[in-house]
Every structure is written in structure tokens, then in C-alpha cells.
Structure 1
Amino acid sequence: MRRSLILDVVVRLVFHSALLLALFLLFTGHNRPGGGFVGGLV
């Protein structure tokens, strides 16, 4: 069964965007109360 090209591209974009957002929240919220927790949740 062939994988959908559109689905493959969308999943890659969403995954990498969420990963970058999580790392950004983790590092920017490191010194704030609860900031690192939000990055871990994402």
C-alpha cells in the first residue's frame, strides 16, 4: 500500500514544528516557574 505524499509532508511539518516549539518553551521557560513543564508537555 502506498503512502500519501500530502499526508507524509504534513506529518513531517507538524512534527518538526511541535518539536521546535517544545524546545523553545523548554529553554525560554527554564528560569520561570512552570516554564519547563509546559515544554515537556508539548
Structure 2
Amino acid sequence: YACRKTLADSRPRVRGRFAKNDDFGDATRTHHFEDDDE
């Protein structure tokens, strides 16, 4: 869990999509791609 929290904390939160801890894994990839596109 600590590792995931660290990674999550390091990841930039886009539009508050990184709020869910349950789906943070999928949300990270999704918002990461969106951020890259923008």
C-alpha cells in the first residue's frame, strides 16, 4: 500500500480524477494519457 500511495502522490492529479483510491490504478493511466495529449 505504501508503494501505491507514493506513486499516487507522485502522479499529477488531473481534474480531481485521482480522488478514488479504489480505481486509482486505472484513473492514473487514463488521466496520464489525457495529460500527455493536452
TM superposition score normalised by structure 1: 0.35
Higher normalized helix content (fraction of residues): 1
TM-score between the two structures when normalised by the length of structure 2: 0.38
Compare CA radii of gyration and give the structure with the larger one.
1
